[in-house]
Amino acid sequence: MTGILDKIFCDKKVELGTVKRKLALPDLKMRIANNKYEIRDIRMSLESSKMSSIIAEIKPRTPFKGELLNKHDPVDIAKIYAENGAAALSILTESSYFGGSIFTLEKARGCVDVPLLRKDFIFDEYQIYEARAFGADFFLLIATWLDKNHLADLLSLGKELGLPALVETHNENDMEKAFEVGASILGINNRDLTNGKTDLEIARRLIPIALQVPDKLMVCESGIHSRNEIEEFEKLGAHSFLIGESLMTAENIGVKLREFTGDRKISTKN
């Protein structure tokens, strides 16, 4: 894929060199050995949700729509999400294009009890150790950009560290790669990463394909704006929904999240 996705990964490679010089891999492994983070079971969290299962995303900005945070502290948003029924949180840690930080992941780990996804443009083993060291419970791999062998290697390292991966797909070729490497949590991203546009027909087309292989947990990503859409995709077979912009830009984040889960009660903590 050409366009912004390639540019993000290219810039990420340059940035990662600086990150590694500041915190070398042996030091990162020592941090993992010394920390007390117990990995929370993402499958259990998503499958045991009494309402619709929402992975609520903290995304300060996007290269397509600009700033989304609206002066909110990202950790305060994490608390609002947890208090209003999120089954898990997705935390953007990419800084240059999405305004995220690995330290937001670490801070959120200390104040919420739900599983945390490290959402970033991951291509290097170091980034998976980093995810584990800073408190992630699972991490994102983008099948569109990673070849099958690379994807398999990163997935395998995650398993060694106790971290499952959400393997994100966008088309039939991605889905085939995910099947071949044995991914157990499949994301279906409705967003075209070259231009930012969303098309829910992608999920409508790919969910039946994903259902052909048993025991896969399916996460519908991007472009969800209403409770009706969630109900439609649940009927098709989706197990969970990763939602960012619709929540980040909502007038009342807690109320909007409860609407997505199917619980319209208003939290007094928002």
Annotated active-site residue 106? The verdict is: no
From the candidates 53, 84, 222, 240, give the one annotated as an active-site residue: 222
Confidence of residue 264 (pLDDT cuts 50, 70, 90): low
Any idea what the CATH number is for the domain that residue 116 is in? 3.20.20.70
Distance, C-alpha 250 to centroid of its chain: 19
From the candidates 221, 240, 245, 259, give the one annotated as an active-site residue: 221
88 neighbors 45 (Cβ within 8 angstroms): yes
* Each residue's pLDDT tens digit, 110-129: 999 999 999 999 999 999 99
From the candidates 52, 57, 84, 130, give the one annotated as an active-site residue: 57
Q: Does residue 1 have a pLDDT over 60?
A: no
Angle separating helix axes 148-160 and 172-180, nearest 10 degrees: 50
Quote the mean pLDDT of the chain.
92
pLDDT for 64: 80
Domains contained in the chain, number: 1
CA dist., res. 47 & res. 52, Å (int):
10
Q: Does residue 269 have a pLDDT over 60?
A: no
Q: Which amino acid is at 251?
A: E
145 found inside a domain: yes
Q: Does residue 267 have a pLDDT over 50?
A: no
267 found inside a domain: no
* Each residue's pLDDT tens digit, 214-239: 889 999 999 999 999 999 999 999 99
266 found inside a domain: no
From the candidates 52, 106, 107, 119, give the one annotated as an active-site residue: 119
87 neighbors 46 (Cβ within 8 angstroms): yes
pLDDT for 265: 61
From the candidates 168, 240, 246, 256, give the one annotated as an active-site residue: 168
110 found inside a domain: yes
Reference 112, options 138, 139, 76; nearest CA is 76
152 found inside a domain: yes
More confident site: 65 or 172: 172
CA dist., res. 249 & res. 245, Å (int):
6
Confidence of residue 173 (pLDDT cuts 50, 70, 90): very high
* Each residue's pLDDT tens digit, 39-91: 999 999 999 888 999 999 999 988 887 888 766 799 999 999 999 999 999 99
From the candidates 45, 52, 59, 256, give the one annotated as an active-site residue: 59
Q: Which amino acid is at 241?
A: F
Annotated active-site residue 189? The verdict is: yes
Give the domain range for residue 196: 4-261
Confidence of residue 169 (pLDDT cuts 50, 70, 90): very high
Annotated active-site residue 222? The verdict is: yes
Annotated active-site residue 168? The verdict is: yes
Annotated active-site residue 90? The verdict is: no
178 found inside a domain: yes
Other CB atoms within 10 A of residue 47 CB: 13
From the candidates 45, 84, 189, 246, give the one annotated as an active-site residue: 189
195 found inside a domain: yes
211 found inside a domain: yes
Q: Does residue 103 have a pLDDT over 80?
A: yes
Among the residue ranges 72-76, 105-109, 131-135, 156-160, the one predicted with the least confidence is: 72-76
